[in-house]
Structure 1
Amino acid sequence: MHIGHYIELVHKGHQDLAEALRKVALHHVVEPDIVANCTMLATWSDQLVLDLQPFVDYYGEEKDREPDRMKSILFVKPRTGGMGLLRDLHDLWLMSNEAELCCLVLKMAAMGLGDEALLSACNTMEKQTKRQTAWLLTRIKSAAPQTLIAAE
C-alpha cells in the first residue's frame, strides 16, 4: 500500500503552505489584508496538519524530499513591491492547488479503503484548502491590474 506517500504529500504540503503564508505576511507588512489573511490561512493549514496526525500515526508516511521541492523552488528569497506581492500570491496559489490535488487523491484512497474517518478528514481538508485557494485567486485578480499597468 502506498497511501503513506500521499499522506506525507498532504501533511508536508500544508506545513509548507503555512510556512510560506507566514513568510509572505512578514514580507508584505505594508498590505494589512495580506498580513491578516495570510496569517489566518496559515492557522487553517496548521489545523489541517494536526487533524491529519492520527492518519500519519496509523498509516505512516513514505518519507522523501518531494514535498519540499515546491517550497524551495518558489520561495528562494523575499520579494518586495507590487510585483513581488503578485508573484508571492501566485506561488502561494500554486502551493494551495498542489495541496488541494493531493487531498483529492488521498480522499479517493480513503473511499477505496472504506475509511470513513479519513474520508471525513479529507472532506474537511478539501473544503478549507479550496477556501484558501479561492482567497488567493481573488487577491491575485485584485492586484494584477494595478501591478501590471500602473508604474511603481
Structure 2
Amino acid sequence: MHLAHYLGLLHRAQTNLASAFRQVGEAHAEEPDIFHLCQQQARRCDAHAERLRPFTTRYAQDVATEPDRLYSQLFTGTRTGGLGLLRDLQDLYLMAAECDITWTVVGQAAYGARDEELLAVVKRCEEETAIQLKWLRTRMKQAAPQALVVAE
C-alpha cells in the first residue's frame, strides 16, 4: 500500500503552506487584510497537518524511501510591492492547489481502504482548502489591476 507516501506528501505540503502563509502575511502586513487572513489560513493548514498525524502513524509501516521524490518546492520566499504581493498570492494558490489535488487522491484511497475516519478528515479539509483557493483567487483579482496597470 502506497497511501503512506501521499499522506506524507500531504502533511509536508500542509506544513509548507502554513509557513508560506505566515511569511506572506508578515511581508505584506501593510495590506489591511493580508496579515490577519494569512495568519488565519496558516492556522487552518496547521490544523490540517495535525488531523493527518494519526493516519501517517497508522499507515507508516508501509513507507519506503520514495516519498522524497514526491515532494515539490513551490515557495521560495516573499517579494515586495504590489507586483510582489500578486506573485506571492499566486505562489500560495499553487501550493494550495497542490494540497487540494492531494486531498482528492488521498480521499480516493480512503474510499478504497474503507477508512471512514480518514475519509471524514479528507472531506472536511477539502472543503476548507476550497475556501482557501477561493479567497486567494479573489484577492489576486483585487490586487491585479493595481499591480499590473498602475505604476508604482
Describe the SS at the equivalent of 1:31: coil
SS at match of 1:70: coil
**2:68 aligns to what SS in structure 1?**
coil
1:142 corresponds to: 142
Aligned pairs for 1:47-58 within 5 A? 47-58=47-58
Deviation at 1:78, TM superposition (A): 2.9
In 2, Cα distance between the equivalents of 1:12 and 1:37?
21
Per the alignment, residue 70 of structure 1 pairs with 73
Shift of 1:30: 0.7
Secondary structure at 1:64's aligned position in 2?
helix
Equivalenced residues, count? 148
Quick one: which amino acid aligns to residue 37 of structure 1? L
Alignment partners' CA distance in 2, 1:147 and 1:50? 36
Q: What letter corresponds to residue 132 of structure 1 in structure 2?
A: Q
Q: What is the TM-score with the length of structure 1 in the denominator?
A: 0.93
Residue 35 of structure 1 aligns to a residue whose secondary structure is helix
Q: Name the residue aligned to 1:27.
A: 27
Unaligned stretches of 5+ residues in structure 1:
none
- Measured after TM superposition, the shift of residue 9 of structure 1 is 1.4
- 34-43 vs 52-61, which moves further: 52-61
The answer on 1:94 being equivalent to 2:94 is yes
Classify the secondary structure of the residue corresponding to 1:30. Answer: coil
Q: Tell me the equivalent position of 1:42.
A: 42
Q: Which runs of 4+ in 1 moved over 6 A?
A: none
* Shift in Å, 1:146: 1.3
- Superposed CA deviations along residues 93-133 of structure 1, whole A, max 9, x for unmatched, are 00000000000000000001111000001001101111111
Asked if 1:133 is matched to 2:136, the reply is no
Instruction: Provide the alpha-carbon RMSD of the alignment.
Output: 1.2
For 2:90 and 2:78, locate their aligned partners in 1 and report how far apart those are by CA, in whole Å.
14
Residue of structure 2 equivalent to 1:121: 121
**Shift of the alpha carbon at 1:29?**
1.3
Shift of residue 65, structure 1, vs aligned partner: 5.4
Structure 2: stretches of 5+ with no match in the other structure: none
| Matched residue, 2:107 | 107
C-alpha separation in 2, matches of 1:34 and 1:19: 14
The whole-number CA distance in structure 1 between the counterparts of 2:78 and 2:85 is 10
Identity across aligned pairs (percent)? Answer: 43
